Structure 1
């Protein structure tokens, strides 16, 4: 009898130890993943803030050029008196250490809030609206990641066992979240389906185009377009592939959507706010047919190419933008999904 109780007690103790070890390992792994998520969120926020500073410098340069063309420029009623301030604050924000970054970015936000839309060209106004939107979204993702880490690290077992090690607690990034530029709010959201078409060599099909009313600069973009009334996102993706390439995909060929993003831009003289979601599909390389393109699309699309990430990076070095900007770094993820990796239930936001 004593032996039976001893065995039972031993089994209970072993079970408790096993459960405790499993919990410790699971929690430590979760903490590690949360910290990785936090670091990626900070990198995205840092990139969004850097882009806003670049746009602010561009605005300052436009103001200076306007000032040079104007003999008298009253600072209180025009942008001219704000040029130096924007240039100084954008440079200060870019150079600020992490501890001083919030103050520097808040000062730049205050200066940008004084910029009136009518002072800017539609293109520059759209770039500012897009930069502000990216900062807003990236900051929220960053602070969500910080909140999840702080919540988990505040639990008593995590503190007692020091599962977080000696790493300092991450901090929320608090800057004034002002209203977005009127160009962003006034542009009606346009749901769009885009497709990352991969061939058997893991190259992505990209179109090369220009804005009919733009500066003539070339840019590269994935196949896709707006969702028409009565269509689902998947229906729109299949239709856009067929119309823009002449290639027919089956519904099951589309995997995802994998990513989503919001992009504000000017196109053909109008400011647009595109709410995009990206599917992935694998197909043998094929030659495109332009038979399904509209007249407007024929003026936009000049070329196409099956591209590797180094190809995309070479386009950027040559001054031709690639949309989405993160695409060279996202190809590996798209390839993994095309090769059978699981797709998350909710599309991940990209920039």
Structure 2
């Protein structure tokens, strides 16, 4: 551990120049960490809205992910989820239309040469059908790092994973299939065991359990 509290082998000295220090703080494990909120947007229970992006410091590092991002100071997770959804997709919805949180996830990942830890809550938005998405609210970083945003069938997501594409959360397809019939009030844990293990408790309170369904296909 470096004198400033960071993991010197995983976090460069200039990490605050690479990540927004208003959102990221060094955690006790020496990694920058932040709280984030994401939205699972389902259209008619058949399609999900996803983004495909890459690491601006390593163009070979690519992945598919749900709309969402870090919380602003003083912002609740549901407020952050609604704001991020509007910024990244142009879908402006009231917080009352977001169900949940329906899931949580602990993620450890490398981005812009920094290994980070993120604590995520997921909300669910149901739409009667796919709608047009817009990019005019994107930040400069999103314009650099996001390659596309659009609607995917659950079969397409499974096929992408079968080809070796990284999709986060890993168990997205199984979780969405479970949610199609309705949300039972549980906050399931979608953490990839490779990141932080499946923790059968929810620090944000209320009925959290590990996800035990099928991850895909």
TM-score norm. by structure 1 comes to 0.46
Moved over 6 A (4+): none
Higher relative contact order (CA 8 A, sep 6+): 2
Deviations 1:46-88 (A, max 9, x none): xxxxxxxxxxxxxxxxxxxxxxxxxxxxxxxxxxxxxxxxxxx
Change in CA separation of 1:217 and 1:249 when aligned onto 2, cut-off 3 Å: same
Cα deviation digits, residues 181-217 of structure 1 (max 9, x gap): xx98111331110100011242110101111112423
CA distance in structure 2 between the partners assigned to 1:225 and 1:333 by the alignment: 24
Q: How far did 1:230 drift?
A: 1.0
Contact 2:36/2:68 (<8 A) preserved: yes
Larger strand share, 1 or 2: 2
Mapped contact 2:45–2:180 kept (Cα < 8 A): no
Look up the match of 1:320.
Answer: 165
Is 1:310 aligned to residue 171 of structure 2? no
The reply on whether 1:238 has 2:99 as its aligned counterpart is no
Contact 2:46 2:154 in 1 (8 A): no
Aligned to 2:64: 220
2:191 is aligned with 1:346: no
Gapped regions of structure 1 (runs ≥ 5): 1-115, 123-182
Residues 260 and 349 in structure 1, CA contact (< 8 A), matched pair in contact too:
no
User: Could you tell me how far 1:287 is from its partner in structure 2?
Assistant: 1.6
Larger Rg: 1
Higher percent of residues as helix: 1
Aligned to 1:262: 106
RMSD of the TM alignment (CA)? 2.4
Q: Distance in 1 between matches of 2:151 and 2:208?
A: 25
Write the deviation string for residues 237-262 of structure 1: whole angstroms up to 9, x where unpaired: 00001000011111111000011110
Pick from 126, 131, 136 the counterpart of residue 286 of structure 1.
131
Matched with 1:108 is none
Answer with 256-265 or 279-288: which moved more. Answer: 279-288
Q: Check whether the contact 1:309–1:329 (CA below 8 A) recurs between aligned residues.
A: no
TM-score normalised according to structure 2 size: 0.72
Q: What are the ranges of 5 or more consecutive residues in structure 2 without an aligned counterpart?
A: 1-6, 12-26, 187-205
Tell me: CA distance 1:348–1:189, structure 2 relative to 1, closer, same or farther (3 Å): farther
Contact kept, 8 Å, 2:89 with 2:149, in 1: the verdict is no
Alignment of 1:150-189 (within 5 A): 185-189=29-33
